[in-house]
Structures are given as C-alpha cells and as structure tokens.
Amino acid sequence: MLTFGGVGGLIVGMAAKDLLANFFGAVMIYFDRPFQLGDWIRSPDRNIEGTVEQIGFRVTMIRTFDKRPLYVPNSVFSSIVVENASRMTNRRIKQTVGLRYQDAEKVEGVVKDIKAMLTLHDDIDTTQTMIVSFDNYGPSSLNILVYTFTKTVGWVEYKEVQQDVMLKIVEIVKEHGADFAFPTTTLQFDTPEPLWSTP
C-alpha cells in the first residue's frame, strides 16, 4: 500500500511539475511577447514552423503550412530559439549571376546597370544594404553577387518582386551581349606517338 501510494504520489508530482512548467511557459509568452496570434514562427531547434492560431495555458496551437495543427507545450518555448518571421522589416534577395569567361570585359558594365536598376526599382528598399559586385572566379563562370532587400515582407509579394528583379537582370545581361555560364568540362587528348616509325 505504501509502495502504491509512493508511486501514485510520484506520478501526481510529475504531472503537477509539467502543468506548472506549461503554465509558466504561458506566462512567459504573455509577458515577453515573442509571438502573438497570427504570427508566422519557426524554431531552428525543433521542427516547428507555421502560423500561431491559439495560445492556451498548457499548449500553443500552430497551423503548419500544409494545414496540419501542431500542439506545442508552452514549456518548450522557454528552452528553444523562436524566430518570428512576421516581425521582419524586409526580405532579402541574394543571388549569384554567373557570366561566361569570354564576357570578362562586359562584367563591369553589367554590374553597373544591375545596381542602377535596383536603385530605381520601386519595390527595393534602398535604405538597406545593397551590394552588386564581381564576387569571385567560379570553375566555369565569373560570378556577380546581387544582394538587396525588398520593401514588402509578404511571401507572395516578395516572390513576385524577386522574379521581376531576376528577369530584369536577364535583360541587362542580354543588352550587353553577354550570356550566362553553365558548367562545362574540357577534355584534352594528346596525340599518341606511333608504335613504330616509318622508315
């Protein structure tokens, strides 16, 4: 009977511990405000990503992007890193544009025109870091780094802006008479020496 009572007390104690941990987790969420209803959050520590739909005393319900409900104990949020994507101020565009080695003399002009295009683009935030520069020599390409930020943070709108920027880069490259590089392999065969010499 004592053993049963001891085990029962242990179970109750563990349940109470989890309940308190989740409660204080809810209190932490309430006061620290790492996220709120409607926020898109994710954690690099756990496989957690989606939109916050409900914050309870014990669990927080997150709707994943494939529309599954994910119930996360509130105590978990006190021990993991949470990234709140809904609070970003801009979205980043980072692309590498690879030109052919035969277009080396055209790289400078392409870089200049891409930067001018981004500076005049209505959806690019010119107050943020903008880099357009010849970055490195690739195995089969001269690589230009394009690094900038959009004004919008909406995912769909961001993808549309990124597409517009990339299509304009294609136009600029073509206007300069250059072209994009693609991986190539050069095979060199030495002429074999004859097995015997002609008298």
Read off the pLDDT of residues 74-100 as tens digits, 9 standing for 90 and up: 888 888 899 999 999 999 999 999 999
Options 3.30.70.600, 2.30.30.60, 2.40.110.10, 3.90.550.10; CATH for 2-86 is 2.30.30.60
CATH topology of domain 91-175: Alpha-Beta Plaits (3.30.70)
pTM of the model: 0.74
CA–CA separation, 67 and 74 (whole Å) = 21
Query: Where are the alpha helices (H) located in the chain, listed in sequence order?
Result: 2-32, 107-120, 155-175
pLDDT, one tens digit per residue, over 19-67 is 666 666 667 777 778 889 999 999 988 899 999 999 988 899 999 999 9
For the stretch 179-187, contacts whose Cβ atoms lie closer than 8 Å and that sit 24 or more positions apart, written own/partner, are 179/99, 179/100, 179/103, 180/97, 180/98, 180/99, 180/100, 180/141, 181/98, 181/99, 181/100, 181/101, 181/138, 181/140, 181/141, 181/142, 182/140, 183/139, 183/140, 184/140
Mean pLDDT value across the chain: 87
The residue ranges of every structural domain in the chain are 2-86, 91-175
Whether residue 121 is predicted with pLDDT greater than 60 in this model: the reply is yes
Which range is least confidently modeled, 1-5, 25-29, 113-117, 169-173? 1-5
CA–CA separation, 80 and 75 (whole Å) = 10
pLDDT of residue 12: 47
Single-letter residue type at 179: D
CA–CA separation, 94 and 70 (whole Å) = 31
54's CB contacts (< 8 A; 6+ apart) are: 37, 60, 61
- Read off the pLDDT of each residue in 102-121 and give the average, rounded to a whole number: 98
